[in-house]
């Protein structure tokens, strides 16, 4: 049987990089960490068929797949995810995963509400979705250490800010291209650049106040430079595939410097 997989390709990086960077910084990749990773993936997979079942517009855009098939995968992914989560909570006593699961459920509920109102591609939905996916950093930290400390929270916060900025850049580039040769294009690009500059200042303040490695600022500065370059080319055509691959490269660049910053 062919698997039912999410079509949001960019979401995979936002899901996995926070988890993997947090787990790698926290300590060795133990069995609970691998089980938590599998559970996170299953929860993400379950999200797609649930959206298809609960949001009519999403089902239509997906090509109206057979509802029985969608229901089967929703149950399969959900039950496997519940089994993995149950083992982590009751066997390894990782009780902090419970509030994280509730936070993820709340984020998903808000996403469904916005999607049913036709606002799933709006700024609120996109940023909420990115922030919700980066909660995997806290899951990875809890799985590796059994708790959450200031360092774990900081690793999540840096991931959250970075990927929210990435969403702003991608969405602004697309919206600016659609508004090419109109004043809206410049407005979209200017907002993206301004947002990235604020992010750089925020991360710089974190580095100063928390006495962490300045290496961590580098990928945020590079991202701001990319936003500035994109603003200069706001009315130029571009390939979405190329934009996607550039985001993958920058995300890996960020992950590398985040690991260096906390390991050195």
Res 225 pLDDT > 80: yes
Confidence bin at 182 (pLDDT 50/70/90): low
Identify the pLDDT of residue 183: 53
What proportions of the chain, in percent to the nearest 5, are helix, strand and coil? Answer: 80, 0, 20
Q: Which of 147, 168, 183 is the last residue of a domain?
A: 147
Q: Distances from the Cα of 246 to the Cαs of 19, 85, 156, in angstroms?
A: 21, 34, 22
- In this structure, the answer to whether residues 156 and 168 fall within a common structural domain is yes
Answer for the pair 215, 261: CB distance below 8 angstroms, yes or no: yes
- In this structure, the answer to whether residues 126 and 156 fall within a common structural domain is no
Q: Which of 130, 147, 164 is the last residue of a domain?
A: 147
Report how many domains make up the chain. 2
Q: Where are the alpha helices (DSSP H) in 27-96?
A: 31-54, 56-61, 67-90
- In this structure, the answer to whether residues 93 and 175 fall within a common structural domain is no
- Mean residue pLDDT of the chain comes to 91
Q: Which of 119, 147, 175 is the last residue of a domain?
A: 147
- In this structure, the answer to whether residues 61 and 138 fall within a common structural domain is yes
Res 179 pLDDT > 80: no
- In this structure, the answer to whether residues 49 and 160 fall within a common structural domain is no
Identify the pLDDT of residue 100: 97
Per the structure, the complete domain to which residue 209 belongs is given by: 149-264
Q: Distances from the Cα of 73 to the Cαs of 21, 76, 106, 146, in angstroms?
A: 29, 5, 22, 31
Res 237 pLDDT > 70: no
- In this structure, the answer to whether residues 109 and 165 fall within a common structural domain is no
- In this structure, the answer to whether residues 23 and 83 fall within a common structural domain is yes
Answer for the pair 100, 19: CB distance below 8 angstroms, yes or no: no
């Amino acid at each position: 049987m062919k698997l039912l997989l999410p079509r949001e390709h960019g979401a995979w990086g936002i899901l996995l990089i926070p988890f993997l960077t947090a787990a790698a910084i926290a300590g060795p990749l133990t069995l609970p960490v691998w089980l938590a990773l599998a559970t996170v993936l299953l929860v993400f997979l379950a999200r797609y068929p649930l959206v298809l079942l609960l949001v009519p517009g999403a089902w239509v855009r997906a090509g109206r797949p057979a509802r029985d098939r969608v229901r089967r995968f929703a149950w399969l992914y959900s039950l496997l995810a519940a089994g993995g989560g149950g083992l982590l909570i009751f066997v390894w006593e990782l009780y902090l995963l419970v509030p994280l699961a509730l936070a993820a459920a709340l984020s998903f509920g808000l996403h469904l509400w916005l999607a049913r109102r036709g606002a799933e591609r709006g700024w609120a939905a996109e940023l909420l979705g990115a922030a919700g996916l980066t909660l995997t950093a806290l899951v990875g930290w809890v799985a590796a250490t059994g708790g959450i400390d200031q360092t774990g929270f900081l690793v999540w916060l840096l991931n959250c800010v970075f990927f929210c900025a990435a969403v702003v850049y991608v969405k602004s580039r697309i919206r600016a291209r659609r508004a090419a040769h109109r004043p809206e294009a410049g407005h979209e690009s200017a907002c993206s650049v301004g947002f990235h500059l604020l992010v750089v200042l925020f991360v710089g303040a974190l580095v100063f106040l928390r006495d962490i490695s300045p290496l961590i600022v580098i990928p945020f500065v590079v991202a701001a430079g990319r936003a500035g370059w994109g603003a200069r080319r706001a009315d130029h055509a571009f390939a979405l595939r190329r934009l996607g691959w550039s985001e993958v490269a920058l995300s890996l660049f960020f992950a590398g410097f985040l690991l260096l910053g906390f390991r050195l």
